[in-house]
Amino acid sequence: MEAYLEILDNILTKGEWKENRTGIDTIAIAGVMFEHDMSGGFPLLTTKKMFFKGIASELEFFIKGLTDKAWLQERENHIWDEWCNPKKVPYGNDEESKIKMKEERDLGSIYGFQWRHWNADYDSFDSNYEGKGVDQLEKVVNTLKKNPNDRRMIVSAWNPEKISEMALPPCHYGFQVTVIKDKLNLLWNQRSVDTMLGLPFNIASYGLLLHLLAKESGFKEGKLIGFLGDVHVYKNHLEGAKQQLSRKPLDLPSIETERFNSIFDWKYKDTTLKDYQSHPSIKLDIAV
């Protein structure tokens, strides 16, 4: 995707160095918009190999409102391994804290919990939250079917009252759905953007969510738009970024979802990636 590579190039040519909580400095720019028309293919990066199974299983995790990282690990998804509920193990980037955080399975009231149980009191990953809090995602789905011209179809993961019990404050903190000329568009907001590791994942995840919402409501797939805040590349990702910029993008793949009944019954294995070709993966260390 040229739009992604333009963002990456802009950071490397115009970015400024700054410190952050991880101890690994970044080169950063402020305020960027990403835009992709879904008619051009599924927005999965081709300039490096992407883990679509991990993207899809995390989205199912969010849609279900789950908070147990063991659920992800059982599906060979380890993207949340390093974090946990800070009320059970306080955050720290020293080695002892990292080990304890990795061993704790409870992630706290992160993304999907807020999507499905906004502001409900949180106890543990194995508690029953049925009927508790506001089901923001269900409200959006119902509105899509009853009043698709509504401009209030918004889901927020940013809950100031509950941030202290989240493994991480949400980076992509909210999204809005709009329908214009029978096309469903999804616009997400992101405060902190790890451009090499996080952003390619976020683009594909929200692209998949757009696809599922379109199937749920019967609309065509429209535009995917990201409003990005602190957009950065970590110092230890610079060589990988230059390597990626040297590669020529390939044709985008497509996805196909079978046996679809409802977004709330959807499983990540129901969606298949088609005709995906990419350059080799680029090894990048994550900043905890």
Q: Please count the other Cβ atoms lying within 10 Å of the Cβ belonging to residue 133.
A: 19
Residues in the chain: 288
Which residues are 232's β-sheet partners?
28, 194
Please answer whether residues 69 and 259 qualify as being in contact, where contact means their C-beta atoms are separated by less than 8 angstroms.
Answer: no
Pull the structure tokens for residue 194.
Answer: 């790890």
Closest CA to 26 of 278, 187, 181, 232: 232
Distance between CA 155 and CA 157 in Å, rounded? 7
Which residues are 256's β-sheet partners?
272
Known active-site residue 84: no
Spacing of C-alpha 68 from chain mean position: 17
DSSP-derived pairing of the beta strands 183-194 and 220-234: parallel
Catalytic residue among 144, 171, 197, 199: 171
| 169 three-state secondary structure | coil
| 66 three-state secondary structure | coil
Which residues are marked as active site? Answer: 171
